[in-house]
A and B are shown apart, each in its own frame.
Chain A
Amino acid sequence: MPPLLSVRNVTRRFEGLTALNDVSMEVEPRTIAGVIGPNGAGKTTLFNVLTGFYRPTSGEVWFEGRRIDRLPLHGIAAAGISRTFQNIRLFANMTAIENVLVGQHIHLKTNFATAIVRPPSVTREERSAVKTAVELLRFAGLTRRENELARNLAYGEQRRLEIARALAVRPRLLLLDEPTAGMNPGEAAGMIKLIRALRDDMLMTIVLIEHSMRVVMGVCERITVLDHGEKISEGRPEEVQQDRRVIEAYLGTGQIITDGRA
């Protein structure tokens, strides 16, 4: 099977600083891939390149046989990729359900003229959108929280809402930026269950950035390790875990690789 996503020799420089240096990786359909690395390794920069926030200085990103690194920011979602953010970026003053409705934006057709006239088709569309949103919220474990403002949700709930919102885009690739960051072990376990369900029940392909080794080792099938903007290792979790360069990179930061939480 051809890879769903392929990152080809991507380099990204900021004035005087190379955040990503000649990084390549491929993601197969219906797998959970992980990107790990110590702080400042370039994980988030890689995510920002994948989601169009940064243009690569050189190199290419291909998705489903289509080059996506030149797409405008909003074109990424239309191409079939959606994401969550490391520092939760919900629409804080909108309700949970409205957040998910915004996620469905590209699948709805109402424009300003039909919004004013409001023909039956608009009413129907809106009703089915709300129904989809309610289902997605249920899937993400947010039953009966629909009308809560996003900023009033508990931390773990906010992370789940971000995932529900990302799913509303109906992506074929989901990028999760540190989905368990700041969670207590109970919440993190719930999140891992949710991520597995995404792949098993919704047949989603997932790439996640993680700091917590326990999460990555437990859930990912393939792992890419970055350090100082370069790919230093790649493979199945147990392979990566044994890699000398990985151990060195993490030892250098004082983290112990087998015991996850930093």
Chain B
Amino acid sequence: MMQRFEATRALTRALDNANARARAAFDAIPLIRWILPLALGVVGALSPQWFDTRPTYALMVLITYLLLRTSTNVFGLAVLAAMLVYLPMEMDRFERGILFDIALYTMLGIGLNIVVGYAGLLDLGYVAFFASGAYIFALVVAPEAGGGWDIGASFWLMIPAAMALAAALGVALGLPVLRLRGDYLAIVTLGFGEIIRLMLNNRDDITNGPRGVYLIPKAHFFDKELTGPYELYFLVLAGVFIAAFAAERIRDSRVGRAWEAIREDEDAASAMGVNTTFYKLLAFAIGAAIGGGGGVIYAAKQTAIFPRDFDLDVSINVLALVIIGGMGNVRGVVLGAMLLIGLPEVLRDFSIEFAFIDLANIGADYRLVIFGAALVAIMVLRPEGLLPSRRRAAEFEQAEMLESELAT
């Protein structure tokens, strides 16, 4: 028994080593690391005729994957940022819409990742916070809203206000369910998400019911009206960067360690003095705030929102992108959003014509079929996600440095 245990452990270690070596080899080949993405980026940038959806998209996914996979140094980030700013300029309205969705879902993914990836709380009702952000904003600013609550509030004030309210909702929903574990928590949160949607649908008097809230005023940035997905894309992009920055910094702190400890072993974390209830609620609140912020931007872009925009599929999509990308890190979320939100859209104009098989529009028709199968395939082949979180380099170096200091 004991021997078998040892053997498994040795095997695990050997596999870890092999994996590390493979990664090191990958990182050491400059061709893959820099030259290829750079070349592709230059070619892409110089030939606007390339900006037909599919190649652009394939390119973006590839570049991002490689950048994220190999490193996140200044140069890599600069290339990424330049690409994210430049690409939409070359895109048409439809493509910009896709880009907006990817960015928005990335933001939601970062928020949910705090709950699921960092704190290990499986939340299937994340849409509740997204919906509350959108509805709080819409009901306050839209003159046509059922209650006619127009107080002319500024978009820029509404973002923090809606985030705070969403966070409060997160705490309120989180409080009763925190002692539930795993699957049960998933189902209760799923229930919450559906209850919120059904209430939005049924409480005509407040939310205007299934007819939705429309004529939501445009946001302004100084004098410029932020009209379409293009302008608002930059707003979401800013949201993504802020959320990512905040999330990573919290993760690499005492708070992040407390979350990770809770996820690993809740009882042991308590025994170390970690107030597990507080930290779980904190994760819910921060995740909810980010979701609420995303909701505000979504409502501003749509200018009309309906209860049916906030069904279970949103929660499932966000969760799936977090898990496919690799839980617990922002890079995984970005990749997950590109694959999950972007790919089905891009698949729209994908068709097969081969000998007697003529499946025109296979992409448009079967994209969700492919998506479902892909979810299964990714889970079976890489259950830890495409970009599993790597150990934090900074902490190691610091420790090693200190150790040599102490040794002398």
Contacts and interface: CB of A to CB of B under 8 A. Distances in A.
Nearest to B258: A105
A147 B269 contact: no
A76 B271 CA distance: 7
Contact of B272 (A77, A93, A97): A77
B253 interface: yes
Contacts of B13: 152
B267 interface: yes
B264 A115 contact: no
A146 B400 contact: yes
B261 interface: yes
B116 to A, nearest CB: 15
A46 B400 CA distance: 40
B268 interface: yes
Interface string B43-75: 000000000000000000000000000000000
B4 interface: no
Contacts of B406: 131, 134-135, 138
Given A105-B257, A130-B399, A169 B264 contact: no
Interface string A107-130: 011111001101000100011011
A49 B254 CA distance: 28
Nearest to B391: A95
Nearest to B403: A134
A224 interface: no
B282 interface: yes
Interface stretch (B28-36, B273-281, B357-365): B273-281
B269 A102 contact: yes
Nearest to B250: A115
**Which of A131, A138, A143 is most buried by chain B, counting CB atoms within 10 A of its CB?**
A131
B265 A98 contact: no
Contacts of B391: 95, 147, 149
B260 interface: yes
B222 interface: no
Interface stretch (A1-9, A78-86, A195-203): A78-86
A165 B274 CA distance: 13
Contacts of B249: 115-116, 118
A11 interface: no
B396 A147 contact: yes
Contacts of B276: 73-74
Interface residues of A, number: 54
B264 A93 contact: yes
Contact of A105 (B16, B246, B250, B254): B254
A89 B255 contact: no
Given A97-B395, A115-B253, A130-B399, A102 B286 contact: no
Chain B interface, >50% SS class? helix
Contacts of B399: 97, 130, 133-134, 146-147
A126 to B, nearest CB: 7
Interface string B234-274: 00000000000110011011111110110011011111111
Contact of B273 (A97, A106, A127, A135): A106
B260 A89 contact: no
Contacts of A152: 9, 12-13, 16
B275 to A, nearest CB: 5
Contacts of B273: 74, 76-78, 82, 105-106, 169
Q: For this complex, into which size category does the number of interface residues on chain B fall? A: 35 or more
B124 to A, nearest CB: 23
Contacts of B257: 94, 98, 101-102, 105
B264 A77 contact: no
Interface string B1-28: 0000000010011001000000000000
Contact of B260 (A91, A97, A133, A143): A91
Nearest to B278: A74
Contact of B250 (A74, A112, A135, A147): A112
Nearest to A73: B270
A83 B282 CA distance: 26
A138 to B, nearest CB: 7
Contacts of A144: 403
A262 interface: no
B255 A94 contact: no
A90 interface: yes
Nearest to B405: A131
Interface in A56-93: 72-74, 76-78, 82-83, 85, 89-93
Nearest to A129: B254
Interface in A153-172: 165, 168-169
A92 B402 contact: no
B265 A110 contact: no
B408 interface: no
A112 B282 contact: yes
A130 B398 contact: yes
18 contacts: A74-B274, A77-B271, A89-B267, A92-B264, A92-B265, A93-B264, A102-B257, A102-B269, A105-B254, A106-B272, A115-B249, A126-B254, A129-B254, A133-B399, A151-B12, A152-B13, A152-B16, A165-B272
Interface of A: 51-53, 72-74, 76-78, 82-83, 85, 89-95, 97-98, 101-103, 105-106, 108-112, 115-116, 118, 122, 126-127, 129-131, 133-135, 138, 143-144, 146-147, 149, 151-152, 165, 168-169
Given A85-B268, A115-B255, 19 more contacts: A74-B276, A77-B272, A78-B273, A92-B264, A93-B264, A95-B391, A97-B395, A97-B399, A103-B272, A105-B257, A108-B254, A115-B249, A118-B253, A134-B403, A138-B406, A143-B403, A146-B403, A147-B396, A151-B12
Query: What are the nearest 9 A-B pairs in CB distance?
Result: A77-B273, A115-B253, A73-B270, A91-B264, A106-B273, A110-B254, A89-B268, A102-B261, A146-B399
